[in-house]
A and B are shown apart, each in its own frame.
Chain A
Amino acid sequence: MKIKVVYFGLIVDAIKIESEQIDRGEFSTNLNTFFEARHTELKKINYKIAVDGEFSNEISETTQEIALFPPFAGG
Chain B
Amino acid sequence: MKNCFKEGPITSDFIGQSIAHHQVKTNIGAHQIFLGQVRMDEIEGKKVVAIDYSAHEEMANKAFHEIRESAFDKFDLTCMHIYHSKGIVKAGEICLFVFVSSAHRKAAQEAIEYLVEEIKAKAPIFGKEILEDESYVWKENK
Majority secondary structure of chain A interface residues (helix, strand, loop or mixed): loop
Q: Which residues of B contact A74 (CB under 8 A)?
A: 53, 55, 60, 84, 96, 119-120, 123, 125, 127, 141
Q: Which residues of A contact B95 (CB under 8 A)?
A: 75
Within 8 A of A (CB), among B114-136: 116, 119-128
Interface residues on A, range: 10 to 19
Q: Contacts A74-B123, A74-B125, A75-B116 hold; do A69 and B138 have CB atoms under 8 A apart?
A: no
- Tell me if B139 and A73 are in contact (CB < 8 A): yes
Interface status of B8 (Cβ within 8 A of chain A): no
- Tell me if B141 and A72 are in contact (CB < 8 A): yes
Interface status of B36 (Cβ within 8 A of chain A): yes
Q: A9-B128, A73-B53 are in contact. List 8 more A-B contacts (CB 8 A).
A: A50-B124, A70-B126, A72-B121, A72-B125, A72-B140, A74-B96, A74-B123, A75-B36
- Tell me if A72 and B124 are in contact (CB < 8 A): yes
16 examples of A-B residue contacts, CB within 8 angstroms? A8-B126, A9-B128, A10-B126, A53-B58, A67-B59, A69-B56, A70-B140, A71-B140, A72-B140, A72-B141, A73-B126, A74-B60, A74-B96, A74-B120, A74-B127, A75-B116
The complex places the Cα of A8 from the Cα of B138 at a distance, in Å, of 11
Q: Which residues of B contact A75 (CB under 8 A)?
A: 36, 84, 95-96, 116, 119-120, 125, 141
Q: Contacts A71-B141, A73-B126 hold; do A53 and B62 have CB atoms under 8 A apart?
A: yes
* Total residue contacts A-B, CB cutoff 8 A: 68
Q: Which residues of A contact B36 (CB under 8 A)?
A: 75
The complex places the Cα of A8 from the Cα of B126 at a distance, in Å, of 8
Task: Specify which of B124, B125, B140 is in contact with A67 (CB 8 Å cutoff).
Answer: B124
- Looking at A6, A8, A69, A74, the one whose CB has the most chain B CB atoms below 10 A away is A74
Within 8 A of B (CB), among A59-75: 67, 69-75
The complex places the Cα of A6 from the Cα of B126 at a distance, in Å, of 14
Q: Which residues of B contact A10 (CB under 8 A)?
A: 126, 138
Q: Which residues of B contact A67 (CB under 8 A)?
A: 56, 59, 124
